[in-house]
Structure 1
Amino acid sequence: MIVIWTFVLSFVLCAIGGLLVIFERWTPRNPAVGKWLVRGVIVSMVGAVVGFGVKQFPGDSGNVTGPIGAEAAPATPASPRVAEPPEPAPTDTAATPTPAPALPVTPPVTPDVPPDSGPPAEVADWATATLGPRPTLAEIDAHPYPTCVEDMQAAADTALPEDSAACVRALDRYHLKYVLGYYTRKQPYAVQLDLQEQRMRAAGAGGDAAPRYAYVVAEIARLNGAEWDRVQALDQRLRGDRTACARRGCRPAA
């Protein structure tokens, strides 16, 4: 019993530490500890959302996986196996023609959807109603990175502590509004993508559902590809600059 309560208390403390790191209320001395705590919180949040989604859709087959916090590539639907034709009984080959082999069934072709393009016209209404708001990098692209870091580095030793504090606040606002805002929009959208992909794949994803299935697969690839790498790089840059401004007046580490 003591061991169980020890594990529970450790998990609660790790969750609190991760939340403090995410909201910039505490910065560990070792950056690896901060990354570990943040990933633990994000994985726990995704697990809770996915578990709720599975309970809401008990008829879906398979386990739901989410791309948040842990950058996992989407599962590629396996091609259906085609049974080979049975060997014909020994007969007169001149009188009996050889049966042609069965043609393999190919899965739906995934279209090449540009990273920032909207859904195709034939699935636009369905995507909006079923998947919800589509997360993009439009807001991040429309708002440039805070310039106070470069200004502080150019000022060198003449910069004032008040300027460093103001830059930290500017970085916090940018991180909260745009980076964490993107994470917040992506999480429920990614869960819906995985649920719809599993549901349509189990049903065959053919006929009228083929364009929808192709769009869902393309969206999963978009969210976990170069776009996700870009958001992660921006997140790391913000955290590094904030640490430099809070400790060294925005000067880079020696």
Structure 2
Amino acid sequence: MTPHETYLQDRLDQYNFYHFIRLTENVQTKGIAEYVPTQQGVLAAIKRLDLKGHRVLDIGCRDGLYSFEAEKAGASEIIGIDNCISNAAVEVLIPELNSKVQMHEQNLFDLTERTYGKFDTIIFAGVLYHLRYPFWALKLLRDLLSDRGQMILETGVMLNDNQYPLLFCPTEDESPYEATSVTFFNPKALRDTLATLGLQVTHIELLNHPDLLEREPTLGLKDRVKRFLGRTPDRIIDRLTLTCRVGEPTSSSETRQYWDGTHELE
């Protein structure tokens, strides 16, 4: 290591990181290895999209892994928000990388178009399953996208009963992850919900069960016994990454008016 790399590593060792981010040939942050597989799907999605000249919003940016990748991909402006901002990213990573990424400690639900304007690309990774108001969050993000807007969404999903659009919303004690993880769409519900908002899915993949996207998983013996006894089979939870683009909503204008405003009874 060079003297600067030794100094830099000593500084990084004073912080905790979620993401592995390389700063030099010999120095990178010490992230959390178990999160890497879910991050790979988002990084692959960033590479698939054309971000040149785009304004990008990275929600739940944490240490800035996706923000920095968007910058490398040619984005002209990147704003990252997190309700627990990474001091390490602000104090060390952004200056060391000579990055133009802007980070703000902010809650998703405080965003409006007046806050930072509209965006060409939104990265929404590892956040949706933490939200107790998921439909409002997705509408809010749709309203923040420009006419050419696109979104990368990564989240935990429930794979049971994918024949129907369903939402699994456990209480804190029943969560398959931890207490703040309380909202799990199944893939059909997520795709259908995005479609009603005018977000057309262009790519979708599951991390652990790619063959279960279009069908319901076969129940094992234990779950068949549970169903026979009138009990709920074990939930199958996976991670899903998708990309979508702004298009025409599948919901009617009358339905959207009913949801968003007032209506007259006939």
TM-score tier, shorter chain, comes to under 0.3
Bigger RCO (CA 8 Å, 6+ sep): 1
Which structure shows the bigger proportion of residues in helix conformation?
A: 1
Which structure shows the bigger proportion of residues in strand conformation?
A: 2
Per the normalisation by structure 2, the TM-score is 0.22
Higher alpha-carbon Rg: 1
Per the normalisation by structure 1, the TM-score is 0.23
